Amino acid sequence: MAAHDTERPLLSGPLEPGSRTKQNGSNKKRRYRRSKSAPLAEAVPSGADFPCSRVQRWDTIFGTIHPSFKTVAIYLSLYLGIGTISFYLVKNQIEGQKTNGVLDAVYFCVVTMTTVGYGDLVPGTVLTKLLACAFVFSGMALVGLILIKAADYLVEKQEILLVKAIHLHEKLGPSEILKDIEIHRAKYKCITIMFLLAVLIVSGTVFLYVVEKRDFVDAFYCVCSTITTLGYGDQSFSTISGRVFAVFWIITSTICLAQFFFYVAELNTENRQRALTKWVLCRRMTNVDLEAADLDEDGVVSAAEFVIYKLKEMGKITQEDVSLVLKEFDDLDVDQSGTLSVSDLTLAQSSPDEN
Amino acid sequence: MAAHDTERPLLSGPLEPGSRTKQNGSNKKRRYRRSKSAPLAEAVPSGADFPCSRVQRWDTIFGTIHPSFKTVAIYLSLYLGIGTISFYLVKNQIEGQKTNGVLDAVYFCVVTMTTVGYGDLVPGTVLTKLLACAFVFSGMALVGLILIKAADYLVEKQEILLVKAIHLHEKLGPSEILKDIEIHRAKYKCITIMFLLAVLIVSGTVFLYVVEKRDFVDAFYCVCSTITTLGYGDQSFSTISGRVFAVFWIITSTICLAQFFFYVAELNTENRQRALTKWVLCRRMTNVDLEAADLDEDGVVSAAEFVIYKLKEMGKITQEDVSLVLKEFDDLDVDQSGTLSVSDLTLAQSSPDEN
C-alpha cells in the first residue's frame, strides 16, 4: 500500500528551530499563496471529463442559475402568448374599460401576472375567473423564480459599469475593480437598482402626465400604486398608447422594486457577515481554540486547519461540509499517511473498488 | 522568536512507511474526527470576551437575523397603529364601501401594506393619495424585510414537528432528526408551507362562502386574488365580520404564499448545490488538482488542504475568504514555522504590536 514516489520535499511538519523534526533546514519565512488560481465553479468547462455517470453534466446542473436570455424570452413569450390568446378568446366575458381587443388581452395578462390587478378590466364569468386564478399563480412563479434572476444578472452587468465610473479617476486595474465589486457587491447593486428605479418612476410619471393627461399627483400616485403592485384601480392606463407603454413599463418597474427590497436585505446580510468576519478574525485565539482547530490531532494547527476553523466560526461552512469531504479524503488516502500524494491518487483511482 | 514548548508530538508531516521523514513510528490508520464540536456561530455566548473594541457585540450584530417576536410585534403594531390613526383621521377623504370607521382604517391599512389593493376603499384627495404612497412603500419594506423573516422562523419550528411526525415509526434519535432537517431543510420547509397554505385557502374560501354569502367560485376567486396580492377589487370583504377576519387572514396568507415561492427557489438551489457537491466529491483528482490544493507548497496535500480545495470547488467558499484568514494566520505564526502552536499564540497575542 505504501508509496515511495513523493519527489518533492515533505515539509508539512512544523519547522520550529528547536524542534526535533527539523527537516531540510527550511526555516525560511513562509507566505501562503494568495493569488492561487482557485477552482472556481464558473471556471470548470462544461465539456469536462465526468467520471461519475450518476451525476448530471455540469451545464445541465447550472444552466439555469442565471437563466440565459433565450430561456427567459421563451418562458415570457410562452406565458404572454398563451395568456393573450386565452383572454382574447374570452374577451366578451371580461368587463370594464376596453380599447383594442388584442392589446387589452396583453395588458390584462401583464396586470395579472405582476399582481398589480387594477380592476379596470375584471373577469365576469366563472371560466374567466378560474383562468385569472391560474394565470396569477403561474405569473407569480414566472416573475419570482425566473424573471427576477434574469434581472439580477442584468443588474450585475450594470454594476460593473457603475463601479468603473466611480473609479474613473483612480486608475484602478480591472482586477482591483473586480475585487471592489466582490467585496461591496450588495452595496453597488443597491445603488444601481435605485438609479434604475428613479428612471422608471420619472418616466412613468411624465408619461401619465403628458400622454394620459393626469394631474401631477395622480400620475405619481398611479406610478406608486403600480410599481408596488398595489393597484387600487382608481388610476390606471386607459388609452391605447397608455396600455402599450404599460405592458413594458409595468413588468420592468414591478420587478425593479421587488429587486430593490431584495438587495436591501442582501446588503443587510452582507454588512452583518462583514462584521462577523471582522469579529472572528480579530478574536483572541485560546488554547481551547487551538485544540479544536487541530483537525488531524497532531498537536499543531496548520494554515489550512486554521482556515477551516475560522471559516466554520464565520458560519461560511458547516461541520457537515467538512465531514463529507474528509470521508472522500480518507478514501483517496490509500496509504493512510494523513496526506495525499501523487501515488495515493494513482492507487486510489485505479483500484477496482473505486466508487 | 522561536518557541520550544510544543509538548505534543508534532505529526503533521507525511508518515508514509518508506518516507525519509518517518516520525515516532506513528503509522497507524488515521481517521479524522467527524463529530468535532464545530465553533458554530450560534454557540458563541453573547457575553464573550471581545478583544476588538471596534467590533460590535455579538448580540448587537445578530440580534435581528431572526427578529424576535418582540421586535416584530413592535414594528407591526407601530405600523398598523400609525396607519389606523392616520386613515381614521382622514376617513372622510376615503371613498368606497364603508362599515365601521376604525375597522375600515385598519382594513385599508392592511390591504395597502400587503399590496392587495382591492380598490373597495380608495383615497379621494391629494393628502390621502400621498399618504397611501408612503404606507405602501413602508408596508412593503415591513413585510419584505421583517415579517417574512419572522415567518421563516415560525416555519422552521413547525418543520421540526413535521419531520418528527414523518419519522414517528422509525424511532430516530434527536440528532438524526436534526441531521435529516439540516440536509433536507428546503424540502421540509416547502411541505410545511404548502400545508399552511392549504389551511389558509380552505379557511378563507369557507369564510367567504358561509359568512359573506358568496357562491363557491367567487369565494375561491376572491381568496386567490387576495393571497397573490392581485386584488382586482370586484370581490372583497364588505361586511364588518368579513373585514375583521380579513385583517388577520390577509397578512398571514399573503406572507405564506410569498414564503412558498421563496422556499421553492431555495429548494431549487439546495438540489443544485447537492448535485454540485456530489459531482465535486466524485470527480477524479488529477496531479494538477493536487498541485493546486497544496496550500503550503510542501508537495503533499493534507486533509485540511483537501477540504479547502474541495469546498472552493463547490463554491461554498472563495479564494477571498481563504486569503483573509491566511493573512491572520501569518500574523499569529510568530516563528514562521507554517503551523500554530501554543507558544505562537502566547507570543503573538502578548506582543505590543498586536493589532
Residue B208 lies in a domain: yes
Cell of residue B186, nine digits: 428546503
**Torsion region of B7: left, alpha or beta (phi above 0 gives left; psi -120 to 50 gives alpha):** alpha
My answer on whether B224 and B327 are in the same domain is no
pLDDT of res. B228: 95
The torsion defined by the Cα of A153, A158, A160 and A164, in degrees rounded to 10, comes to: 180
Enter the C-alpha cell of residue B176: 438524526
Cell of A288: 481551547
Residue A353 lies in a domain: no
CATH of the domain at A222: 1.10.287.70
Residues 6+ apart with CB under 8 A from B253: B197, B200, B201, B204, B223, B226, B227
Q: Which residues of B touch A13 (CB under 8 A)?
A: 10-13, 21, 23, 339
Q: Is the pLDDT confidence value at A104 over 90?
A: yes
Question: Per-residue DSSP letters for B78-94?
Answer: HHHHHHHHHHHHTGGGE
Distance from CA of A102 to the nearest CA of B (A): 20
A32, A282, A304: residue with CB nearest B52: A282
Closest CA to B1 of B348, B353, B354, B352: B348
Q: Is the pLDDT of residue B132 over 70?
A: yes
Please report residues of B whose CB lies closer than 8 A to that of A41.
276, 313-315
Residues A171 and A306 in one domain: no
> Considering only CB atoms, which chain A residues are within 8 Å of B16?
2-4, 6, 335, 337, 341
Q: Is the residue at A213 inside a domain? A: yes
Q: Say if residues B142 and B251 touch (Cβ distance below 8 Å).
A: no
Q: Is the confidence at residue A341, as pLDDT, over 80?
A: yes
Q: How many Cβ atoms are within 10 Å of A73's Cβ, its own excluded?
A: 12
Within a domain: B271: yes
Phi, psi for B286 (deg, rounded to 5) = -100, 170
pLDDT of B351 reads: 57
- A106-110, A144-148, B224-228: the lowest-pLDDT one: A144-148
pLDDT band at A54 (very low <50, low <70, confident <90, very high): very low
What pLDDT, on a 0 to 100 scale, did the predictor assign at position A165?
Answer: 80
- d(CA A99, CA A106) in angstroms, rounded, equals 12
| Cβ–Cβ contact B50 with A under 8 A | yes
Q: How many domains does chain B have?
A: 2
- Which of A223, A258, A275 delimits the end of a domain? A275
Flag whether pLDDT at A42 surpasses 60.
no
CB neighbourhood size of A198 (10 A)? 10
CB atoms A341 and B299 under 8 Å: yes
ipTM entry: 0.78
* Amino acid occupying residue A101: G
Q: Which of B232, B305, B327, B334 to mutate to test the interface with A (most CBs of A within 10 A)?
A: B232
Residues B247 and B114 both lie in one domain: yes
* Residue A107 half-sphere exposure toward CB, CA atoms < 13 A: 27
Are B320 and A144 in contact (CB < 8 Å)? no
Do residues B214 and B129 both lie within one domain?
A: yes
- Residue B216, SS3? helix
pLDDT digit string, tens, across residues A263-292: 998 898 888 888 888 888 888 888 888 888
B-chain residues within 8 Å CB-CB of A34? 323, 326
Task: With respect to residue B50, please indicate whether it lies within any of the assigned structural domains.
Answer: no
In this prediction, residue B63 carries a pLDDT of 40
Neighbours of B349 (CB within 10 A): 14
- What share of chain A in percent tops pLDDT 90? 40
Q: Residue A67: its pLDDT value, please?
A: 64
What are the start-end ranges of the H helices in B211-318?
216-227, 240-282, 287-293, 303-313
In a domain, A223, yes or no: yes
Residue B7 sits at the chain A interface (C-beta within 8 Å)? yes
The verdict on B6 touching A (C-beta cutoff 8 Å) is yes
Chain B residues touching A36 at Cβ < 8 A: 292, 295, 319
A292 and A248: one domain?
no
Tell me the C-alpha distance between A74 and B113, whole Å: 33
Q: Which pLDDT does position B140 carry in this prediction? A: 93
Q: What is the pLDDT of residue B286?
A: 84
User: Which domain-ending residue is among A222, A240, A275?
Assistant: A275
Judgement on whether residues B124 and B246 belong to the same structural domain of the protein = yes
Residue B77, domain extent: 69-275
Distance CA B163, CA B143 (A): 28
Same domain assignment for residues A205 and A91:
yes
B198 contact A CB<8A: no
Q: Examine the pLDDT at A26 and tell me if it is beyond 70.
A: no
B176 with B322, same domain: the answer is no
Chain B CB within 8 Å of residue A43 CB: no
Q: What is the pLDDT of residues B253-300, one digit of tens each?
A: 999 999 999 999 889 888 888 888 888 888 888 888 888 888 888 888
Residues A115, A184, single domain; the answer is: yes
- Region of A119 (left: φ > 0; alpha: ψ -120 to 50; beta: rest) is left
Q: What is the pLDDT of residues A319-330, one digit of tens each?
A: 888 888 888 888
Is residue B316 very low, low, confident or very high in pLDDT (cuts 50, 70, 90)?
Answer: confident
A145 in the same domain as A235: yes
Q: Is residue A240 part of a domain?
A: yes
Question: Are the C-beta atoms of residues B162 and B194 closer than 8 Å to each other?
Answer: no
Residue B290 confidence (pLDDT)? 86
Q: Cell triple for residue A165?
A: 465610473
| pLDDT at residue number A61 | 41
Which string of DSSP letters, residue by residue, matches B90-110?
A: TGGGEEE----HHHHHHHHHH
Residues A221 and A76 in one domain: yes
Per the document, the length of chain A is 355
Q: Among A275, A298, A324, which residue terminates a domain?
A: A275
Quick one: closest CA in B to A273, which residue?
B61
- Under 8 Å CB pairs connecting chains A and B tally to 505
Predicted confidence at residue A351, as pLDDT, reads 57
A355 lies in some domain: no
* SS3 at position B178: helix
Contacts of A291 (CB under 8 A, 6+ apart): none
Q: Dump pLDDT digits (tens) for B151-170.
A: 888 888 888 888 888 777 77
pTM of the model: 0.78
Q: What is the mean pLDDT of chain B?
A: 79
If asked whether residues B105 and B254 sit together in one domain, one would say yes
pLDDT digits (tens, 9 = 90+) for B211-236: 999 999 999 999 999 999 999 989 89
Measured between beta carbons, which residues in chain B are less than 8 angstroms from residue A339? 13-14, 300-303
**Would you state the pLDDT for residue B67?**
64
Contacts of A33 in chain B (CB under 8 A): 295, 297
